[in-house]
Amino acid sequence: MFSIQVHSPSNFYGELLMKIISISSANDIPENANLLIYGAGGRGFRLVNLLTKFRPDIRVIGFLDSHEEKNIDQYKVYRVSSLEPLLKEYSQISVIIASAFANQIYCELLKFNLNYIYVVDPYIVTPTKYIFQSIDEIRDFENHISDISYLFKKQSNKDFLMCIPDLYRLNKDPKLIYCKLVDFFLSLNEQYFDYINKDVIKTIIDGGMENGGTSLRFLHHFSGCTIYAFEPLEAAVKLSPFYTYIKNCSQINVCFKGLSDEPTSGRLNIDPDCFGGNRITTTQSCQYSTHVETTTIDDYVKNNNISKIDYIKLDIESYEIKALNGARKTIIRDRPQLAICIYHIPEHYYKIPLLVQKICTDYNFYLGFYGIETFLETVLYCIPKEIDKN
């Protein structure tokens, strides 16, 4: 006779939850902690920057990785197999996970004698989070947000705007703010299509088509439409599984240029970890970059004899203001509906609405928030009052 001892699921998950602690603020990390950060990519280094600014009492020993061991800047990346001797070398080590694969990683870490495993909330380590250098900068941002609140018709939009500076403050309870964000997120339907009057859209500018998925969604929503799609990273389109369809679709016209306020050329810096992190620059380049050209919406519309543009969508990684300035004539002439991403640079939350108001009066303004896991994908919708059905 022999017996097998089996942990019940409730006991197993109870033990698991006791060891794993979610970090939703830099203040949640223990004082004077010795930290190993699991994740030596963008999230891990954004966490280092956050701790440097707000928690100088914390010492980052290095990074953990499942496979390779190397040096990055002044930090060493250790294999997970090195964790046991590190626990003996340093006292009171805390491991904190800053990775999109946290659920697999903390299961791997459970075999080690760790008191706790900390998991960073994605909100903390996204590119738009904790980018301020001081509380004064947060206050300045908050003042600007308050100044533009009157532009928005819906109270839910005003409330969302005021959540943003609160989320940046370390002395606020982020869980209450997250609840408000979730409520707002659940009130919406689909990115780029909320608040839009679909009945009057026939011609579309798709600024930042990436792999072409958004253009295909336009075909679905707007029967018989014509799309003028822009993407400076040609490979992103041509290597897409959608490209076979797109290149043979008479309704989609692809231009392999970026959108700006003037025709020019520069380098597109490519983030290998995140396609959406690519940036056009005329002054600097990184390890992965390629030559690109830009055009303006006004020039493109004129050169291609386009009689009217009904809808402009821009998700072009911080070039939105330049593209809007390059579309002034088209916006004034045609009064298109707009869906503009405003989350790439914090100042865009207030600068882009003010710019649109300056270019063309008698527009109604709305907000959409679609990045519930990353605090990204905030879209400004601008609808001419004469066609607004909201």
pLDDT tens-digit readout, 162-180: 888 777 665 566 677 778 8
Tell me how far CA of residue 350 lies from CA of 103, 144, 145, 242, 319, in angstroms.
36, 6, 6, 35, 15
pLDDT at residue 358 in the model: 95
Q: What is the pLDDT of residue 270?
A: 55
Q: For 203, how many CA atoms within 13 A lie in the half-sphere containing its CB?
A: 14
Q: Report in angstroms the alpha-carbon separations of 302 from 257, 299, 320, 322.
A: 16, 5, 20, 18
**CA nearest to 249, candidates 226, 230, 232, 231:** 226
**Does 132 have pLDDT greater than 70?**
no
27-50 average pLDDT score: 84
Contacts of 216 (CB under 8 A, 6+ apart): 242, 245, 246
pLDDT at residue 279, as a whole number: 53
- pLDDT, tens digit, for every residue of 54-105? 888 989 999 988 777 888 888 999 988 888 888 888 777 888 888 777 777 8
